[in-house]
Structure 1
Amino acid sequence: MKRTLIIALMFASVILYSGCDLSAPDQPELNATLGQVVAQGKFVAVGNSLTAGFQSSGMVETAQVNSYPALIARQLGKQSFQQPLIAEPGIGSTSGMTPLQLVNGDITAQPLTVNPLTLLKNATLARPYDNLGVPGATLHDVFNATGAATSASGSNLFFDMILRNPNLGNTTQIEQAILLNPSLMILWIGNNDALGAALAGGNINLLTPTANFTADYTSVLTKIRTSTHAALILANIPYVTDIPFVNALDGVINAGMGVPVISTVADVNGDGVNEVVNVDFNPLPNAELYVPLVTEETGVAHLTIPALSMYQAGVGVPDSAALVAMGFPSLNASAMVAAMKANGLVPTGQPLPGSVTITASEATTIKTRVDEFNGVIASLAQTFQAPVADMNAALSVLNASGIDGMSGKFVLLDPVHTAFSLDGVHPNDAGYAIVANQFITVINGALGLQVPQVNVSDYAGQYVGKPVAKIALEAAEQVKAIF
């Protein structure tokens, strides 16, 4: 059997994609199909926070056990899939804080009172982890960063914790994956080359140039193909404007007026799902009066989640002077301010900064760059003969019609069915089950296997019975700390 395995892996890259019949006269006789041999070998996943099982702006074992690589490993029947498990209370993306949690209906984070390095449960594992997802990793990081100092941010602690250099020879994520001699590898990387721009309110200067992305992705795939015989599965990049952190407040944009308006959420249809509802400040029946937000930028298309917390403190709420400057008569402006105060708002006239708003132009630029990245991935996937899981399409479907009863809405809007964690960026348990199934479908098609799908309903309802009322500004901002 050992000889059979070696022969199978030697011919893996040829047989898998050329469609050769394993029983052909010029092929060695095998007792198992190539797909079965690959599935029984070492499985390794390389990526960023999505691969790491990051949830609610942090890492903690209770979430990591349901990372998509861990779920796939369980479906493959692997009992020794090693991850860098973080003990309670977990490590948040903001230094000195825990992951986000619900406290009396508020999404918040708590101070971390212990050294985060002491929370790594299997730090002495004498080999690389099978899950080599590092939160905050960019495409360039996976073959360049050996620790926090050499990462894109220059200070990302998760690189030190997960790569554990110099104990593992000052090796990168890709080099450690190669050391494990995998027969099956998933590489999902590149999201952070666009995500940081969206989280920063459309800062297009944070987008990786497409030429750099192409060169780096080519280098990574070349390294994998020349150093392993692994069956390689890739994934493309979802539109970053499709995540709740960016689109949850889209309902406050009044298309008819062309300006943002004050909104709230309410269960309009009585179906247990909250909808965005514009707040009418006109006390007269059958009349509408919506109050425009004050923003630094014009042409705003998206308000990110931190804008909600700022708004609760009065930022973005117009005062009389701001309303008059917008063209409202003085008497109307005074009446509107009185109505806002009566409804608990704090009219400051201070505009929402550009760091929490994304203009239509910025959104288009980011989307175009993601399309370019995905074009690179699709082209190189053909060159290097690696199938691609279409995560871009999957997230679009999740937002449009849902998947397996789960939705793409923010937890404040749909706490029962949301597939996203409390940060509005990363999936929750059910969301990672959906991701795992996307990969399993591709694995089965590429390797001729029948790996069973994950039962998403087993992971649904993570926030059932837990009221969700608001999110603290510090909590809303925490997810950006790893960039």
Structure 2
Amino acid sequence: MKKLILLLIMISLSVWLGCDVKTPEQPQVQTFSKVVALGNSLTAGFQSSGLCECMQPQSYPNLIARQMGNAAEFEQPIVHEPGIGSTPGKGHLQLVHGKIIAPDLTVPPQAMLLNAQLPRPYDNLGVPGALLRDMLYATDATTSVAKTNSFFNIVLRNPNLGNTTQLQQAIALNPSLVLLWIGDNDVLGAALNGGNPALITPQADFQTLFTTLLTELHARTNAKIIMANIPYVTDIPYINTMDIIFRPIPALGISQSVPVVFDATFQPVDFDASANFLYLPLLTEEKSVAHLTLPALSAYQTGVGIPNAAALMQMGLPEAQAQALELGMKAAGLNPTGQPLPGTMSITNTENLTMKQAVDDFNSTLQALATQFQIPLVDANALFSHLNSSGLDGYSSQFVLLDPANTAFSLDGVHPNDGGYALVANAFIEKINASFNLAIPKLNCPDFKGQYAGGISAQMTMEVVEQVKAIF
């Protein structure tokens, strides 16, 4: 009997040992052999109103490729120093002796492209200034919505690549993973031009174009796709830096917050030494102003927007007090011209709500399409909102003039800097890992700090702040 029991035990043990015991599948570092990025300036690694080899390695797609071990094969349109700026004949914005400048170019932009002879499309096909429509239909500057944006010629290199679009070139690369981030310029152009609603892509067009884009990618490639939604255009320093100088002025019967006269440290000036605060409102062509853009800062530094005695008297102040206040402003180094800030430098409450609604509508479309096509969606809107409200991973959303050590934005106040793009790359990496059971290591974002070490002057020329708009 004992022998029988022992025999049965041995048989059972041999059967058990012969079975495959499945262990939990372990995440892999990467499984994508060909990564291709589609988008606009945010994809291209555009910083400080330009494209340059000193900053392009920190484009978010290149950072992802580096973390996946694919950086050597990931080709970008590398532009020689001093880079190609938004404004024709200018390089990217630079910090020189504490001042932000736009250096002149001495050679044609195309001559600065270091790998122009690459016999295939670039893996990073992000075109600065591209709208959603451009991704589907533009083959060069003349066929783009803007008509004059030379970055289409630099990135797409037609006719050498068969007069093909950004989308067609991506398909030709036979990608295994597509990084897709497009659509913010379909609202951003309005924000950079004083909230002009005519520059917002209609919602119906946006939905049709994006549906076509995803349909083409699904039909003509076997690629996995990761896409991101659109941040609020007011979550950038170009739009919100001046928000800190808004105050109510009860002494003048103004209960809502309005932009007021401020000093070189961006502190509103109290012109009443007693307990009653007296701020002086800036003069603006538009009423109910929600934001003043960076061009307003440059204009203010020349005296535009600063009320003179005549303007103060129209606000109800006695002549003697108005004249004394004008003299006080002059003594403080201000130039009270009495000229209002033009509407192109301000965004009204109505314009602000219109742009927010456009972003919300676009993002609703992106969420629905992500569900329809089963595409993981990076919440870039939440990322930039969090950065704007409370900071992220040691970074702030303040403009470089206010927080050079910690800002996540470049010198143009619109595009991220090295650290900002690292934050974006990590958001994509998190989504890729969670969606495809991978273990791509994240970046240590604090390693990217120190880009703007040293003091920075608060002076900004109009040429500098206007450069970012030149590609729209």
CA contact 1:430–1:460 (8 Å) conserved in 2: yes
The equivalent of 1:54 in structure 2 is 46
Look up the SS of the partner of 2:366 in the other structure: helix
CA contact 1:296–1:353 (8 Å) conserved in 2: yes
The equivalent of 2:80 in structure 1 is 87
Bigger mean CA offset, 137-146 vs 340-349: 340-349
Which deviations, in whole Å up to 9, do the C-alpha atoms of 1:140-168 show, x marking residues without a partner?
A: 00010000000110011000010000111
Bigger mean CA offset, 137-146 vs 256-265: 256-265
The equivalent of 1:263 in structure 2 is 262
The equivalent of 1:151 in structure 2 is 144
Which deviations, in whole Å up to 9, do the C-alpha atoms of 1:391-439 show, x marking residues without a partner?
A: 0000011112211101111111110000000000000000000000000
5 Å matches for 1:339-350? Answer: 339-350=328-339
The amino acid of 2:42's aligned partner reads L
CA contact 1:38–1:183 (8 Å) conserved in 2: no
CA contact 1:39–1:184 (8 Å) conserved in 2: no
CA contact 1:34–1:447 (8 Å) conserved in 2: no
Query: Which structure has the larger Rg over C-alpha atoms?
Result: 2
Bigger mean CA offset, 141-150 vs 109-118: 109-118
Q: CA RMSD in A?
A: 1.5
The equivalent of 1:404 in structure 2 is 393
**How far apart, in 2, do the equivalents of 1:438 and 1:237 lie?**
14
1:429 and 2:418 correspond:
yes
**How far apart, in 2, do the equivalents of 1:38 and 1:66 lie?**
20
Cα distance, 1:236 vs structure 2: 0.2
The amino acid of 2:307's aligned partner reads P
Match among 428, 436, 441 for residue 447 of structure 1: 436
The runs of 4+ residues in structure 1 deviating greater than 4 Å are 33-38
**How far apart, in 1, do the equivalents of 2:264 and 2:358 lie?**
32
Cα distance, 1:59 vs structure 2: 0.6
Look up the SS of the partner of 2:88 in the other structure: coil
The amino acid of 2:261's aligned partner reads I
1:460 and 2:449 correspond:
yes
The amino acid of 1:70's aligned partner reads N
5 Å matches for 1:21-100? Answer: 39-78=31-70, 79-100=72-93
**How far apart, in 2, do the equivalents of 1:215 and 1:264 lie?**
48
Look up the SS of the partner of 2:226 in the other structure: strand
The amino acid of 2:470's aligned partner reads A
CA contact 1:411–1:468 (8 Å) conserved in 2: no
Cα distance, 1:467 vs structure 2: 2.7
The equivalent of 2:237 in structure 1 is 244
**How far apart, in 1, do the equivalents of 2:120 and 2:457 lie?**
41
Rate the CA distance shift 1:314–1:105 in 2: closer, same or farther, 3 A. same
The equivalent of 2:209 in structure 1 is 216
1:416 and 2:405 correspond:
yes
1:136 and 2:154 correspond:
no
Kindly tell me the number of residue pairs found equivalent between the two proteins: 441
CA contact 1:44–1:182 (8 Å) conserved in 2: yes
**How far apart, in 2, do the equivalents of 1:307 and 1:206 lie?**
20
Q: Extract unaligned runs of 5+ from structure 2.
A: 1-24
Relative to the length of structure 2, the TM-score reads: 0.91
The amino acid of 2:357's aligned partner reads T
5 Å matches for 1:181-330? Answer: 181-255=174-248, 257=254, 258=256, 259-264=258-263, 266=265, 276-282=266-272, 284=273, 286-330=275-319
Cα distance, 1:263 vs structure 2: 2.2
**How far apart, in 2, do the equivalents of 1:306 and 1:345 lie?**
17
The equivalent of 1:332 in structure 2 is 321
1:480 and 2:469 correspond:
yes
Cα distance, 1:35 vs structure 2: 8.3
1:164 and 2:154 correspond:
no
Look up the SS of the partner of 2:76 in the other structure: coil
The equivalent of 1:13 in structure 2 is none
CA contact 2:400–2:409 (8 Å) conserved in 1: yes
**How far apart, in 2, do the equivalents of 1:194 and 1:169 lie?**
31
Bigger mean CA offset, 397-406 vs 375-384: 397-406
The amino acid of 1:205's aligned partner reads A
CA contact 2:226–2:375 (8 Å) conserved in 1: yes
1:362 and 2:351 correspond:
yes
The equivalent of 1:120 in structure 2 is 113
Q: Extract unaligned runs of 5+ from structure 1.
A: 1-32, 267-275
Which deviations, in whole Å up to 9, do the C-alpha atoms of 1:267-325 show, x marking residues without a partner?
A: xxxxxxxxx4211234x354533121010000001000110000000111111221122
Cα distance, 1:265 vs structure 2: 6.0
Cα distance, 1:333 vs structure 2: 1.1
Bigger mean CA offset, 318-327 vs 78-87: 318-327
